Amino acid sequence: MVSVSDYQKAKLKTISYFEKANIILTSLEREKIEIADFGLNDLERQGLELITYINNEHYCAKELVLFPLQTCPEHKHPPVDDCAGKTETFRCRYGKVYLYVEGEPTKNIKANIPSPSKDYYTVFHEIELHPGDQFTIPPNTLHWFQSGEEGAIVSEFSTTSRDEYDIFTDPHIIRIPEK
């Protein structure tokens, strides 16, 4: 779990990324920035910073911030009730993102798999996203992503987000922190 001090530092760093990319946040949105370390206590290597603009029974819109070479661990969005799982479109707004999905593995991937969790990364079909590029990830598809050396911001447009149902390949991950 992220300490209060580390949370505040990460939040300020996240805000600086939005400013670099000229993405304006309201004061309420700044307050609602989520810092996700996935219970791994390794935020700089495996984590994600985000703001959710809207999430309702029809759709969701978020901004995902990745610090330099930070990785969002491998996971999928499984079927829930009568929904096939979350379909999400990633659109790169700033920096560079290496997205990995199921499919033919790319030889010599560009990302650096975080060593403590390397056994839990299993899909290696690489899609490189630059500002303006986008890719849609089908429901129930294993995926993970990592930013380039300058960090990145990705806009996510998706069906309803139900983070509590996400399935991570690393059994040590805690997506929703316990209070």
Specify the pLDDT at position 1. 74
Specify the pLDDT at position 3. 87
- Asked whether 37 and 46 are in contact (CB, 8 A), the reply is yes
pLDDT digits (tens, 9 = 90+) for 69-127: 999 999 999 999 999 999 999 999 999 999 999 999 999 999 999 998 999 999 999 99
Pairing of strands 71-76, 143-158: antiparallel
pLDDT digits (tens, 9 = 90+) for 13-22: 999 999 999 9
This prediction's pTM:
0.95
Average pLDDT rounded to a whole number, residues 146-168:
97
Domains of the chain with bracketed CATH: 4-168 (2.60.120.10)
Indicate whether 179 pLDDT > 90.
Answer: no
Specify the pLDDT at position 10. 97
pLDDT digits (tens, 9 = 90+) for 23-64: 999 999 999 999 999 999 999 999 999 999 999 999 999 999
| HEC per residue, 106-168 | CCCCCCCCCHHHHHHCCCCEEEEECCCCEEEECCCCCEEEEEEEEEEEEEEEECCCCHHHCEE
Distance CA 11, CA 31 (A): 9
Indicate whether 178 pLDDT > 70.
Answer: no
